[in-house]
Amino acid sequence: MAELSTPTSTPVAAVLETPLWQVRLRLLLRGIKTNVGLFAENPIGLVGLGIIFLFFILMVAHPIMMKTVWDPNIYNPVTGYDPALVAHPSPPSATHLLGTDPLGRDVLSQLMWSTRAAFSLGIIAALVTVFIATTVGAVSAYFGGLVDTLFMRLADLIIMTPTITILIVLAALLDLGTIHLAVIIGMLSGFGGATIIIKSQALTIKVRTYIEAARVAGGGNAHIILRHIIPNLMPLSFLYMMFSVTSAIAIEAVLSFFGLLNIRMSWGLMIYTTSFAGYLMDLKKWWLIFPASISITMLCAAFYLVGRALDEVVNPRLRKR
């Protein structure tokens, strides 16, 4: 911008006297404001955000409850046991708001504790996905040629593999924990479908005039990719982050439902414990299966709803006006 200023016109010079970062910050804030406005127009996105916030509160509340109200020996989500009750699983009562599971552990405490695993898994997987997809998409769109062919064949290969199936095989043969799983899911979707979509967006950005202007001004490849292409890919990447959170949480739930993961507690594992103890079809003991299943569904749906609302922000053709 500085090159374009003409010293003769005073108003432009006055604007330029404010440092460049302030101008950038103001532009950024204005952009965010418009987009937040567009996002807030859509009640679906707000509902999604509300659900995510609710689970966030559950997650934060758990350690506080353990410190203040709940006795760690009874309410520990993994090792707790309530000796005061004779039969487990016991129905919801004043001491156990959602009852206890077949091993005598408090279901509410398990539910709240598992929120942390779900959030961390989803967010790590999404960050890995977006980091890989944005970098690979931008680089292969910008350079084309051999790099492009290589990454696109890899993406074809990954699209061809059914994710859940391959993860079941891996989880059955290896010892997978939450973090490993998150990174593997992130890599699978990052090098797979997300790359192709982000690359096609990067291809349309690559031919814009400001890229040519940057090159004429002497910008190197790294500068153009980092400062011009990737920032313009960010909205789309952010959108895909939401969708990959959804799929990561769902995949983790399925795998731990089959009892294939080496984790201490998660929503899927709660259902696995229920089915392992033989209570899967016993709907009179609803507290064993409903809270965990509904939590999985609701958190997945919430991220998906936010993603859809963002889709309408990023993709103007879907908007009502």
Partner 1 sequence: MRRYLIRRIAQNILTFFLFLTAVYLLLDAQPGDFGDLYLADPRLTPQQRAVLRANLGLDRPVIERYAIWLRNFFKGDLGISFSNYPRKVMDVILERAPRTIILFTSATILAYYVGFVMGKILAWKRGGLLEYLTTVTGVGLYTVFLPWFALMMVWFFAFTLGLFPIGKFLDPVLWRASPVDANYVFHRMLLTASISAIVLMVWVIFAQRLNPAQRRPAVWLGTGIILAGILLYWSSTGVGRYAADILHHLILPILTLATVNFAGVMLLTRNSMLETLREDYIMAARAKGLTEKSVRDKHASRNAMLPVATSFVLALAFVLDGGVITETIFSWPGMGLTLLDAAQRQDVPMVTGALVFTGVLALTAHLLADILYAFLDPRIRYS
Q: Which residues of this protein are in contact with partner 1, per CB under 8 A?
A: 43-44, 153, 156-157, 159-166, 168-170, 172-174, 246, 250, 253-254, 257-258, 260, 271, 280-281, 283, 289, 293, 296-297, 300-301, 304-305, 308, 317-318, 320
Q: How far is the CB of 54 from partner 1 (least distance, A)?
A: 16
Residue closer to partner 1 (CB basis): 224 or 239 = 239
Residue closer to partner 1 (CB basis): 66 or 288 = 288
Residue among 132, 140, 136 at smallest CA distance from 241: 132
Residue among 106, 120, 257 at smallest CA distance from 183: 120
Q: How far is the CB of 175 from partner 1 (least distance, A)?
A: 9
**What distance in Å separates the CA atoms of residue 149 and residue 155, rounded to the nearest whole number?**
10
Backbone Cα Rg of the chain: 25
Q: How far is the CB of 257 from partner 1 (least distance, A)?
A: 5
Q: How far is the CB of 253 from partner 1 (least distance, A)?
A: 6
Residue closer to partner 1 (CB basis): 232 or 274 = 274
Q: How far is the CB of 155 from partner 1 (least distance, A)?
A: 10
**What distance in Å separates the CA atoms of residue 192 and residue 185, rounded to the nearest whole number?**
10
Q: Are the C-beta atoms of 96 and 106 separated by less than 8 Å?
A: yes
Q: Are the C-beta atoms of 237 and 198 separated by less than 8 Å?
A: yes
Residue closer to partner 1 (CB basis): 98 or 229 = 98
Residue closer to partner 1 (CB basis): 139 or 305 = 305
Q: How far is the CB of 156 from partner 1 (least distance, A)?
A: 5
Tracing tokens 């919801």 back to the chain, one arrives at: 92
**What distance in Å separates the CA atoms of residue 109 and residue 80, rounded to the nearest whole number?**
10
**What distance in Å separates the CA atoms of residue 76 and residue 81, rounded to the nearest whole number?**
8
Residue closer to partner 1 (CB basis): 186 or 268 = 268
Q: How far is the CB of 48 from partner 1 (least distance, A)?
A: 9
Residue closer to partner 1 (CB basis): 23 or 44 = 44
Triad 155, 157, 162: Cα angle to 5°: 105
Residue among 305, 297, 306, 301 at smallest CA distance from 268: 297
